[in-house]
């Protein structure tokens, strides 16, 4: 007999997992703890989700998308390329990794133990890269736009995001973030770094 899925149970699982991931991190949150917090059985969780990673993605994807959308809206207030780049890079490498008790690190923890390429959240990464590519390209001078148009720059930015998330979780925010953002901005714009 096929078990009918109830939206309120799925929501309770997501809500419980959200709180536990924020408090304990992905690695130290168990399916049993999620079930207990959601007032359901561990076996019942698997009716709604294939894995703990699937639960994390149900929490993480809207969390990250909301931040990227807010960042895009905020960054568009700045028309000057240098300022906009600094706003975008600092947000992705410093502010978002620091948000909500280093919540961004949960995905890094999860991906560190993934055994299947199929489990990777590629659509989320591509969506984020697309948003950031658009925001950056809108501000870049025509002669520098080629650096960002193909999406490789945004991919590099998001690969670094993971590293900053790990660093932030282990050691706190990087004390060199302003210098790193300054350097990256100068490289993207083809300028000498300010002394």
Domain segments of the chain as ranges: 1-49, 60-189
Q: Which of 149, 141, 157 lies closest to 191 in space, CA to CA? A: 141
The pLDDT assigned to 28 comes to 95
The pLDDT assigned to 195 comes to 53
Alpha carbon distance 83, 105 (integer Å): 27
The pLDDT assigned to 118 comes to 61
Mark the ranges of the chain whose per-residue pLDDT is less than 70: 1-3, 116-120, 194-195
pTM equals: 0.89
Alpha carbon distance 108, 152 (integer Å): 20
The pLDDT assigned to 177 comes to 95
Percent of the chain, pLDDT > 70? 95
CATH topology for 1-49 is: Arc Repressor Mutant, subunit A (1.10.10)
């Amino acid at each position: 007999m096929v078990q009918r899925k109830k939206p309120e149970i799925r929501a309770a699982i997501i809500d419980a997992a959200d709180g536990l991931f924020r408090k304990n991190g992905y690695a130290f949150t168990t399916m049993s703890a999620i079930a207990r917090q959601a007032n359901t059985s561990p076996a019942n969780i698997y009716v709604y989700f294939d894995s703990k990673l699937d639960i994390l993605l149900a929490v993480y994807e809207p969390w990250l998308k909301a931040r990227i959308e807010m960042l895009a809206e905020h960054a568009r207030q700045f028309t000057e390329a240098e300022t906009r780049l600094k706003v975008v890079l600092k947000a992705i490498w410093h502010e978002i990794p620091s948000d909500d008790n280093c919540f961004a690190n949960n995905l890094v923890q999860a991906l560190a133990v993934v055994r299947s390429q199929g489990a990777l959240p590629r659509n989320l990464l591509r969506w984020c890269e697309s948003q950031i590519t658009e925001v950056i390209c809108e501000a870049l001078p025509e002669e520098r736009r080629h650096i960002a148009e193909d999406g490789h720059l945004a991919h590099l930015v998001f690969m670094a995001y993971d590293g900053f998330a790990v660093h932030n979780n282990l050691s706190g925010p990087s004390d060199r973030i302003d210098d790193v953002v300054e350097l990256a901005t100068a490289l993207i714009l083809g300028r000498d770094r300010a002394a």
